[in-house]
Amino acid sequence: DKGAYPYYMLKEIDEQPAVMRRIVGQYFDQAGNPQVDEAILDALAKADHLYIIGAGTSYHAGLVGARMIEKYAHIPTTVHISSEFAYDHPMLSEHPFFLFLSQSGETADSRQVLVEVNENHWPSLTMTNVDKSTLSREATYTMLLHAGPEIAVASTKAYTAQIAVEAVLAKALGQFLKHPEADEFDLRSQLGMVANGMQAITDSKDDIEEIASRFLSKTRNAFYIGRAIDWSVSIEAALKLKEISYVQAEGFASGELKHGTIALIEDGTPVIGIITQDKTAGLTRSNLEETVARGANAITIVSRHLAQETDTIIIPDVDDNLTPLLSVVPAQLLAYYTSLGKGYDVDKPRNLAKSVTVM
Ligand code: F6R
pLDDT score, position 356: 85
The confidence band for 331, taking pLDDT boundaries of 50, 70 and 90, is very high
Q: 244 C-alpha to center of ligand 1: Å?
A: 13
Using CA atoms, how far apart are residues 326 and 231, in angstroms rounded to an integer?
14
- The pLDDT tens digits of the residues spanning 35-68 come to 999 999 999 999 999 999 999 999 999 999 999 9
Ligand 1 in reach of 235 Cβ (< 6 A): no
Atom of ligand 1 nearest to the CA of 104: 15
Atom of ligand 1 nearest to the CA of 128: 14
Q: Is 269 helix (H, G, I), strand (E, B) or coil?
A: coil
Positions marked active-site: 354
Q: 308 C-alpha to center of ligand 1: Å?
A: 35
Burial of 123-142, coded b for 16+ CB within 10 Å and e otherwise, reads bbbbbbbbeebbbbebbbbb
Closest alpha carbon to 313 in 271, 273, 340:
273
Nearest CA to ligand 1 atom 5: 56
Ligand 1 in reach of 102 Cβ (< 6 A): yes
Nearest CA to ligand 1 atom 10: 57
Number of H helices and E strands in the chain, helices first, is 14, 10
Q: Is 267 helix (H, G, I), strand (E, B) or coil?
A: coil
Nearest CA to ligand 1 atom 11: 56
Ligand 1 in reach of 142 Cβ (< 6 A): no
Nearest CA to ligand 1 atom 7: 154
**In sequence order, which ranges of the chain are alpha helices (DSSP H)?**
8-14, 16-27, 38-45, 56-68, 82-85, 108-119, 134-138, 157-176, 180-184, 187-202, 205-211, 229-245, 278-292, 324-341
Ligand 1 in reach of 151 Cβ (< 6 A): no
Q: Is 55 helix (H, G, I), strand (E, B) or coil?
A: coil
- Which helix (H) or strand (E) covers residue 221, if one does? strand 221-226
Q: Given a cut of 90, is residue 10 above it in pLDDT?
A: yes
For residues 325 and 298, the answer to whether their CB atoms sit within 8 Å is no
Using CA atoms, how far apart are residues 267 and 291, in angstroms rounded to an integer?
10
Mean pLDDT of the chain: 97
Ligand 1 in reach of 234 Cβ (< 6 A): no
Atom of ligand 1 nearest to the CA of 158: 14
The CA angle 305-159-134, to the nearest 5 degrees, is: 160
Burial of 173-190, coded b for 16+ CB within 10 Å and e otherwise, reads bbbbeebeebeebebbeb
The confidence band for 353, taking pLDDT boundaries of 50, 70 and 90, is confident
Task: Using CB atoms within 10 Å of the CB of residue 16, give its burial: 0 to 12 exposed, 13 to 18 middle, 19+ buried.
Answer: buried
Q: Dihedral through CA 143, CA 146, CA 152, CA 153, nearest 10?
A: -10
Q: Which amino acid is at 23?
A: I
Q: 314 C-alpha to center of ligand 1: Å?
A: 28
Ligand 1 in reach of 108 Cβ (< 6 A): no
For residues 303 and 317, the answer to whether their CB atoms sit within 8 Å is yes
Closest alpha carbon to 53 in 113, 137, 1:
113
Q: Is 311 helix (H, G, I), strand (E, B) or coil?
A: coil
For residues 154 and 335, the answer to whether their CB atoms sit within 8 Å is yes
Contacts of 351 (CB under 8 A, 6+ apart): none
Atom of ligand 1 nearest to the CA of 154: 7
pLDDT score, position 262: 93
Here the ipTM equals 0.99
Q: How many CB atoms lie within 10 A of CB 255?
A: 15
Using CA atoms, how far apart are residues 259 and 18, in angstroms rounded to an integer?
42
Closest alpha carbon to 305 in 314, 296, 313:
314
Task: Using CB atoms within 10 Å of the CB of residue 282, give its burial: 0 to 12 exposed, 13 to 18 middle, 19+ buried.
Answer: exposed
Using CA atoms, how far apart are residues 227 and 230, in angstroms rounded to an integer?
5
Q: 133 C-alpha to center of ligand 1: Å?
A: 14
Please choose from 7, 13, 63, 107 the residue to mutate so as to test ligand 1's pocket, defined by most ligand atoms within 8 A of CB.
107
- The pLDDT tens digits of the residues spanning 135-154 come to 999 999 999 999 999 999 99
Q: 56 C-alpha to center of ligand 1: Å?
A: 5
Q: Given a cut of 90, is residue 295 above it in pLDDT?
A: yes
Ligand 1 in reach of 156 Cβ (< 6 A): no
Under DSSP, the state recorded for 257 is: G
- The pLDDT tens digits of the residues spanning 74-100 come to 999 999 999 999 999 999 999 999 999
Residue 274 phi, psi (nearest 5): -105, 120
- The pLDDT tens digits of the residues spanning 209-264 come to 999 999 999 999 999 999 999 999 999 999 999 999 999 999 999 999 999 999 99
Q: 155 C-alpha to center of ligand 1: Å?
A: 6
Ligand 1 in reach of 356 Cβ (< 6 A): yes
Ligand 1 in reach of 300 Cβ (< 6 A): no
